[in-house]
Amino acid sequence: MIRREMLADGGNYEEFIEQLYADIDESIYELQASRELRQNDTEDRISLDILVGLKRSGYNATHDSKTGGHVDLAVRIGSHSWIGEAKKDGNFKEGFLQLTSRYVQASGNYSHDQGGLLFYMVKRADALGVLNIWRRQLMNDGHSCIDCNTNKLAFYSKHKLEGSGTDFKIRSMVISLYHQPLDKSARDSAKRRAAKKAPMKNSAQKKST
């Protein structure tokens, strides 16, 4: 908290980004640790939980802020700002285009040259495989990509913003929330749920006749 207070009073933009990504990762790890409870969560609900964690850490973190459009995550502390776009189980390219051609930093300062893509994998397995496919797509399009040393399910890429022509660095992150256990206990639970639904379905059919 002390470091964040220092960033609010000063500090450079790189220090802000380093601390922010450490705090975002902590929120991601909390989500992944409770993935069985996230199966019915919407994209907005997951994003809001990340923002709540950032607010607790002292950031001004908002959802659906108007910064050239309605961006999913907008974070500020002191004079520093960052934006992020979230997608659930796909549509990555659309999120990328929104981040690089539509939205601008809440500060309007193009020296605030970093943002993030957060991909929530709820119905899709193999989060790392999905991330690597996205990385190859960016590289095939001519964008340079760099490993992230602090999160195995993240990497950095460099781009040019459509409007300003300035450089922009994006951190792509997948959040692995897929939960389809295959052990016997899970199979038995699935059978019990199916058995409970069957009488309800039969009853509804009888009423309709």
pLDDT of residue 101: 85
Q: Are 17 and 81 in contact (CB under 8 A)?
A: no
pLDDT of residue 204: 58
Write out residues in the chain with pLDDT < 70, as ranges. 1-3, 5-6, 8-9, 64-69, 104-106, 182-209
The interaxial angle of helices 43-56 and 13-33, nearest 10 deg, is 120
Strand 70-71 and strand 65-66: pairing? Answer: antiparallel
pLDDT of residue 146: 97
pLDDT of residue 102: 79
pLDDT of residue 164: 87
pLDDT of residue 71: 87
pTM for this model (two decimals): 0.82
Q: Which residue has the tokens 């609900």?
A: 45
pLDDT of residue 5: 65
Whole-angstrom distance, CA of residue 51 vs CA of residue 65: 12
Q: How far is CA 40 from the centre of its chain?
A: 16
pLDDT of residue 190: 46
| Boundaries of every domain in the chain | 2-178, 182-209
